[in-house]
Amino acid sequence: MTALSVNVNKIAVLRNSRGGAEPSVARAALCAIQAGAQGITVHPRPDQRHITPGDVDTLAQLCRQQGVEYNIEGNPFAPAHGDYPGLMALIERSRPTQATLVPDSDAQLTSDHGFDLVRDGGQLRPYLEQLREWGVRISIFMDAGTADLEIAKSLGVDRIEIYTGPFAEAFAEGDAGVALALCRQTAMQAQALGIGVNAGHDLSQANLAAFLAAVPNVLEVSIGHALVGEALYAGLDSTIRAYLAICRT
């Protein structure tokens, strides 16, 4: 069964749009866990547009108490900025189950491409060594069809997360065959090298079943934007359970 990690960034967006503490990120995460989600994902950014360092700490404690995985995404190269201490500092103090490294810039609205390890592999290496010392599982965000999996293997990453945005866009347009084939090829190549495979970005109830049917042995999907949007109509508990049903098929 593919594990579901619920990204709670959008709950924080709603809270921050008004100020104060509601809706509660921690309460939403607990609701997801009680509905059966196997993990919680956050992607703190230097501008704190959604998840704050305080949220990172609160959710770390919650996930430990509830016995679920905690996944922190972000760019290790981004420096500290104001109250944001930097991704590695957040990881050091919260010790998540997994760190998913993503090459996004401060100006990006959302993640939209994977790492180029030919260019960035050498710079990443000391960060990966530090994560291993902390006992944090390492995942790297990568494009479907990447030619850099051998480099990922040499860097000692535990998993890759396949960027599924292009697949979701093709699916919505009614012709996902090529995009799915690239995802499948990348997953199988990674698995042959002993690298686990996660997936995420723009996955939804509409396209998740097709993705999991085509791409073998996906260990975890991280879903937030579509899930929170769907939960506005169906409720968070029901929406989580619907995703879990898809992950079990």
Catalytic residues: 43, 73, 201
- The Cα 140–Cα 60 span in angstroms is 20
E strand map for the chain: 3-7, 39-42, 69-74, 98-101, 137-143, 159-163, 196-200, 220-223
Half-sphere exposure of 22 (CA within 13 A, CB side): 0
Asked whether 209 and 249 are in contact (CB, 8 A), the reply is yes
- Give backbone dihedrals phi and psi of 87, rounded to 5 degrees, phi first: -60, -45
CA distance 13 to 33: 20
Residues 38 and 71: beta-carbon distance below 8 Å = no
CB 50 within 8 Å of CB 16: yes
Cis peptide upstream of residue 23 (ω within 30 degrees of 0):
yes
Q: Token pair 């900025």 is at which residue?
A: 81
8 Å CB contact between 103 and 73: no
